[in-house]
Structure 1
Amino acid sequence: MSDDAANSVTLRFLAAPMDVGHSGSVDAGTVLEWVDKAAYAAAVGWAKAYCVTAYVGNIHFTDPVNSGDMVEVTSTIVYTGRSSMHIHTVVSSRDPKGGPETMHSQCMVIFVAVGPDGKPIPVPQFEPSTPAEIEQRDHALARIEVREQIVNAMNAQEYTDAGTAERVVLRFMASPTDVNWGGKVHGGIVMKWIDEAAYVCASRYCGMDTVAVFSGGVRFYRPLLIGHVVEVEARLVYTGAKGMHIAVHVRSGDPKTKVMNLTTYCLTVMVARDETGTAVPVPAWEPVSDEDKKLHAHARELLEIRGRAPGNRLPDHLQKHAGR
């Protein structure tokens, strides 16, 4: 943990052989689990109270993390609301024996401080004092509107059995080993489940091993409890030149009832890679049913919204479509 600033925490993880996934490198879900842990440490250190994950912003997985790599996750609070903390998180990795940095990704994570009753409580306000802190604060503020547009678009989209695209559902029990410091399922564990379901869905569709290159709009709606039945549904909604866009819903409920509540929702982009690690084209998915067409349009809308965010751009295939 870093003592450089009260609003910043750095955690380090040594990637172990058991962290390696189907692609031969560390799964994106494990990296997201590390991100959640570092951001949680920063949030709790600032709020001096128990905190829950509310949102994980867009993160691009540029290069693989390999077994034996030293992974460093630095989480810095850049903006606070009444009870929320916006945490800029940077992930990097390198061979601990020396050598260049092999992976560098960043994202915004939002935590909310809650009291014993589970309701939000106020947190100390962060006041930026350096040009760099002011720039990061302004960057966080600029993305709030874009994030709200993304969340509203995702909330408005309906998913039914009328879709014809590739779809998988994983079901299991939330076990005691998944617990966080508040007695609920750790947000990082949920993101790991999301990555696993997206992998199965994408690999079934293209017939190849796949890896996540992007995860965005991970919205946590309610806590997931130990002992509950968990259902992780992944569905293909769009294909670009190489990416497969997978919408993932996580639902959970008491096994003594038939009620399943939505706990988490996000969109993950998966790609197939050849033996050199280069992304390769995948078959284009053509929507068939009315729901297919709505989901296809929804995925394009999310791409366009994200393309308007500060520092972002539209994917090449959409730029060509727009005649740019």
Structure 2
Amino acid sequence: MEPKPVRLSQTTITELMIPSYANFGGKIHGGILLSLMDKVAYATSSKHAGTYCVTVSVDKVEFLQPVEVGELVSLHASVNYVGRSSLVVGIRVEAQNVKTGIIKHTNSSYFTMVAKGDDDKPTMVPPLLLEHNEDVKRFIEAMRMKEIKRKVREEMDDANSAIDIARAPQLLKDERCVLKISLT
């Protein structure tokens, strides 16, 4: 399987933010932005894999600035990392005020996608050809994130198995909750 360069699957989707996308505060719903990010992650990963891809996880969704009705939102995506059947797609979301021309960075996120074959099972993806320093940097960052996620999962599994519910009153005494159950 021949490696494919990052540039071949880079994708940008731009969409006008309309009033029906707004929440009660007049800002664009985070769910609308997540849906658009999922769309661009699918397009980017499928272009690289050459097959259907599904979303497995979404990491680091931080809404840095609100998006307003009337702005043009552009989602810039590229494959940052590939494993055997998985791909990490980095997405940068920008909103442009068409009256002023000002562009603001509103979100960044990382979607882990898995390529599926005709049998609906994970299928191998082409290696990623790293042609620029930025490609190498993003690949290594994704490797590190993958390792950090694995360690967190392991620690959470250990912590969950070690929770002593009888110690809840002591552990929760300074938290903003009220226990309304008898602990046994």
Q: Which residue is equivalent to 1:74?
A: 76
Contact 2:79–2:90 at 8 Å: present in 1 too?
yes
Q: Which whole-Å deviations, capped at 9, do the CAs of 1:145-196 have from their partners, x for residues lacking one? A: 21223444279759xxx9xxxxxxxxxxxxxxxxxxxxxxxxxxxxxxxxxx
Q: Secondary structure at the match of 2:129?
A: coil
Question: Match for 1:8 among 7, 10, 25?
Answer: 10
Q: Whose relative contact order is higher, 1 or 2, with alpha carbons under 8 Å and at least 6 apart?
A: 2
CA distance in 2, matches of 1:156, 1:51: 33
CA deviation after TM superposition for structure 1 residue 100, in Å: 1.6
Please identify which structure carries the higher helix content: 2
Counterpart amino acid of residue 95 in structure 1: N
Map 1:1-324 to 2 at 5 A: 5-152=7-154, 153=156, 157=160, 286-289=176-179
Q: Secondary structure at the match of 1:10?
A: strand
CA distance in 2, matches of 1:126, 1:64: 34
RMSD: 2.7
Q: Which runs of 5+ in 2 are unaligned?
A: 1-5, 166-171
The verdict on how the C-alpha distance between 1:48 and 1:290 changes in structure 2, with shifts beyond 3 A counting, is farther
CA distance in 1, matches of 2:98, 2:38: 23
CA distance in 2, matches of 1:155, 1:104: 36
CA distance in 1, matches of 2:114, 2:108: 20
The verdict on how the C-alpha distance between 1:154 and 1:61 changes in structure 2, with shifts beyond 3 A counting, is farther
Contact 1:42–1:75 at 8 Å: present in 2 too?
yes
Structure 1: which 4+ aligned runs deviate by more than 4 Å? 154-158
Contact 1:64–1:103 at 8 Å: present in 2 too?
no
Tell me the number of residue pairs that the alignment of Structure 1 and Structure 2 aligns: 165
Structure number with bigger Rg: 2
Q: In terms of mean alpha carbon deviation, does 116-125 or 65-74 score higher? A: 116-125
Contact 1:62–1:104 at 8 Å: present in 2 too?
yes
Q: Percent identical across equivalent pairs?
A: 25
Q: Secondary structure at the match of 2:144?
A: helix
Counterpart amino acid of residue 32 in structure 1: L
Q: Secondary structure at the match of 1:60?
A: coil
CA distance in 2, matches of 1:285, 1:116: 50
Q: What TM-score comes out, normalization by structure 2 length? A: 0.80
Q: What TM-score comes out, normalization by structure 1 length? A: 0.47
Contact 1:59–1:106 at 8 Å: present in 2 too?
yes
